[in-house]
Chains A and B, each alone.
Chain A
Amino acid sequence: QSVLTQPPSASGTPGQRVVISCSGSRSNIGSYSVNWYQQLPGAAPKLLIFKTDQRPARVPDRFSASKSGTSASLAISGLQSDDEADYYCASWDDSLNGPWVFGGGTKLTVL
């Protein structure tokens, strides 16, 4: 049982916009920034979004993220076949669950 809650799966067709949610609590997302990681099949995770809504230079602007209260979300617009991957949210957590907590991951399928 992960501390941060994500839907186990999401899907969309090429060109569509998909949103993946990440629900936490006051001790993590409610107080601290959120990071998102993309894990392509058979590969190591890679940083996708940091400090809630910042993109590394290598990440296209089709990827965006935000948070509100104790929830965060990752949006992918102009969906492409190579976006098919597992996506994980992560945050610092002040409770006994911490200090570094991840979501359970969302498997994105491009139909």
Chain B
Amino acid sequence: EVQLVQSGGGLSQPGGSLKVSCAASGFAVTTNYMTWVRQAPGKALEWVSTLYPAGDTFYADSVKGRFSISEDKSTNTLELQMNSLRVEDTGFYFCARMVVLAVTPKVNWFDPWGQGTLVTVSS
């Protein structure tokens, strides 16, 4: 079964760091397109970052220079390292596999999703 199980997150003061992890089963993280999406309390989904199989990384402007997406091949895990955290980074963080049409990566969808991890940034 294709599944994503998340861990990490928690509470940090502004300016601090946290890491969220996403363990995959049923497929290899390194050969797939992987994504992080977040959701502030009571708000809409917001794309955060995507990692291509070739190693290309993409970040939303709001997190660029502060967040880093990577993968651990030994544990088949996707990670998001979050530094210089701000209050507005608070929310649930979801990992997801991005399914891509072979013809163009611009036709894609997110499936499956992890269960979500809560990140709280507060003094």
Contacts and interface: CB of A to CB of B under 8 A. Distances in A.
Contacts of A24: none
Interface stretch (B12-20, B43-51, B76-84): B43-51
Interface in A67-111: 88, 90, 92, 99-105
Given A2-B44, A37-B45, A45-B45, A92 B110 contact: no
Contacts of B111: 46-47, 50, 56
Given A45-B94, A88-B45, A105-B44, A99 B58 contact: yes
Interface of B: 35, 37, 44-47, 50, 58, 94, 99, 101, 106-116
Contacts of A23: none
Interface residues of A, number: 24
A51 interface: yes
Give chain B's interface secondary structure class.
Answer: strand
A100 B35 contact: yes
A103 B45 CA distance: 8
A100 to B, nearest CB: 4
Give chain A's interface secondary structure class.
Answer: strand
Interface of A: 2, 32-33, 35, 37, 39, 43-47, 50-51, 56, 88, 90, 92, 99-105
Contacts of B116: 44
Contacts of A39: 45
B44 A33 contact: no
